[in-house]
Amino acid sequence: MAKLPKPEELSKIDLTPPKTGWMDTPVVIKEGMFCHGAKPKSLEIVGFPNPRDWRPMDADWKLPENWKDILIKGIAERLEKYRSFRLFMDICVRCGACADKCHFFIGTGDPKNMPVLRAELIRSIYRKEFTLAGKLLARWPARVSLPSMS
């Protein structure tokens, strides 16, 4: 069983923003700061795909070969089905006001664990695959770098 942090250790989480920009701050993944995958037996009962034993700390997450296609197809289906999903993809202004309500961020102090940045992972796929600007920018030569936001 993984060693979980003690309550007194949790109260010492440093929420001071790092001195480096969030893209340049390395992530330190530790026990107690992530959720675990459900047991394969439980996934099979509810009919979820790819039931397997895995842990976030594993080097190999045992994802199917075409996991990127599955992800993009899943986003496309949800964009078609749920107007609220498309709306959220477009309206978040990245203000960060939701950060202090998120137990993952509060529990880790990791800026990359702020809800806005986790959502940004999905949103970056949305922009690249499902918006005109993203499709045009994807053709931009990779050696051209955009100005830093930090």
Q: How many CB atoms lie within 10 A of CB 110?
A: 20
Minimum CB distance to ligand SF4, residue 93 (Å): 5
- Where along the sequence are the contacts to ligand SF4 (CB under 6 A)? 92-98, 115-116
Please, which residue, 46 or 149, has the CB nearer to ligand SF4?
149
Q: Which of 31, 81, 23 is nearest to 57 (CA)?
A: 31
Minimum CB distance to ligand SF4, residue 143 (Å): 31
C-alpha 133: how far from chain center = 22
Please, which residue, 23 or 63, has the CB nearer to ligand SF4?
23
The stretches of the chain forming alpha helices (DSSP H) are 7-10, 40-46, 67-81, 83-91, 103-108, 115-130, 132-138
Please, which residue, 15 or 138, has the CB nearer to ligand SF4?
15
Minimum CB distance to ligand SF4, residue 82 (Å): 16
